Amino acid sequence: MSASTAPVIDRKTLEPLFEAGAHFGYSRSRRHPSSSTFIFGAKNRSEIFDLEKTHEALTKALEFVKSVTASNKSVLFVCGKSEGKEALRQAAISANMPYVAGRFIGGTLTNFSEIKKRVEKLEKLMAERESGALNKYTKKERLLIDREIDRLTRNFEGIVSMKNFPGAVFIIDPKREHIVVAEARKMKIPVIALANSDCDLSEIDFAIPGNDSLKSSIEYFVNQISHAAFLGKGVVPAPVVV
């Protein structure tokens, strides 16, 4: 579609993005060449994203998310940043999607069969603790088992529900989460990502150019993706509050 025939996005549509601070990029010196076409200008040494283009990219990503969950596949949510971990965890849980809110364990996608064994061990130990089956062990043995449960929980709690490969991964900051991107690409799993101006957008199937460090911006985008996941499953969720 040419620029002259492109649909005009009204200001009201862009207000939530603006209010969330999604338009703030990094300084020009940090800009990756692939993000150049999404930059509108600069203010106080920070580059400013063209929110019309951000909105267009987000719309495409949301439609894709709906198609993934409509086919009964999951979207794996990933964020290791302290600014967005909790928002992403809550958004993923609300959409009943797997998530990694913290350190991504290498091999989660490329060595999925081994990861599944660890998840199954966590589920087994949790079930045994809840049923009282661990009472047969000594106090010291139970303490060691509890520590093992805590370790496995920290690493794998969010992917217990992921019994098969996800239909897509949604990442906050693909530059930081380059291991996730590499594993997803190797396994031919589509990547959706909120990516700031320092990211290589050419590696992302559905790149959403926007601020991936500001808490309010991350919250806005993870809620939008969660909402789309619900819609794809044929569930009408409550309105997203941003």
125 with 105, same domain?
A: no
Q: Would you state the pLDDT for residue 178? A: 97
The DSSP bridge partners found for residue 168 are 75
What confidence score (pLDDT) does residue 11 get? 76
Residues 30 and 127 in one domain: no
Query: Is residue 150 located within the same domain as residue 221?
Result: no
At residue 168, does pLDDT exceed 50?
yes
Q: For the ranges 29-43, 73-87, 163-177, which has the lowest average pLDDT? A: 29-43
CATH of the domain at 95: 3.40.50.10490
**Structural domain contains residue 6:** no
Residue 104 has pLDDT above 90, yes or no: yes
User: Domain for residue 238, yes or no?
Assistant: no
**Does residue 239 sit within a domain?**
no
Q: Give the residue carrying structure tokens 């101006």.
A: 197
The verdict on residue 188 lying in a domain is: yes
Report the pLDDT averaged over residues 63-71: 97
- Residue 170 in domain: yes
Which pLDDT score is estimated for 79? Answer: 97
Domain with 129, as residue range(s), is 112-159
pLDDT of 209 > 70? The answer is yes
Q: DSSP letters along 157-224, please?
A: GGGTT--S--SEEEEE-TTTTHHHHHHHHHTT--EEEEE-TTS-GGG-SEEEES-SSSHHHHHHHHHH
Q: Give 103's contacts (C-beta < 8 A, 6+ positions apart).
A: 80, 155
Residue 241 resides in a domain? no
Residue 154 shares a structural domain with residue 170: no
Counting Cα atoms < 13 Å in the Cβ hemisphere of 109 gives: 26
CATH code, 132 = 1.10.287
Say what the pTM is.
0.89
Supply 143's token pair: 């303490």
Same domain, 23 and 141: no
Q: How many domains does the chain have?
A: 2
pLDDT tens track for 94-103: 999 999 999 9
Provide the CA 13 distance to its chain's centre, in angstroms.
23
Q: Does residue 151 share a domain with residue 95?
A: no
pLDDT tens per residue, range 11-36: 788 999 999 999 999 998 999 999 99
Determine the pLDDT at residue 19: 95
- Residue 8: predicted pLDDT: 58
CA dihedral 177, 193, 224, 18 (to 10 degrees): 100
In this predicted structure, the answer to whether residue 4 has a pLDDT above a threshold of 50 is no
Average pLDDT over every residue of 35-54: 92
Length of the chain: 242
Question: Is residue 2 a part of any domain in this protein?
Answer: no
Sign of the torsion angle spanned by Cα atoms 11, 15, 18, 22: negative
**Whose CA is closest to 81, among 166, 193, 208?**
193
- Residue 46, domain member (yes or no): yes
Domain-terminating residue out of 159, 180, 198:
159
* Residues 123 and 57: beta-carbon distance below 8 Å: no
Specify whether 121 is located in the same domain as 225. no
Confidence of residue 7 (pLDDT cuts 50, 70, 90): low
- Is residue 153 within 8 A of residue 122, CB to CB? The reply is yes
* Apex 212 CA angle, 211 and 214, nearest 5: 75
Q: Are residues 63 and 177 in the same domain?
A: yes
Q: What average pLDDT does the chain have?
A: 91
Query: Looking at the structure, do residues 39 and 144 belong to the same domain, yes or no?
Result: no
Q: Are residues 95 and 175 in the same domain?
A: yes
Q: At what angle do helices 215-232 and 85-94 cross, to 10 degrees?
A: 10
In this predicted structure, the answer to whether residue 238 has a pLDDT above a threshold of 80 is no
Report d(CA 17, CA 169) in Å as an integer: 22
Using the predicted structure, report yes or no on whether residue 3 has a pLDDT greater than 80. no
| Residue 122 sits in the same domain as residue 102 | no
pLDDT single digits (tens) 122-135: 999 999 988 998 88
Question: According to the model, what pLDDT value does residue 233 have?
Answer: 87
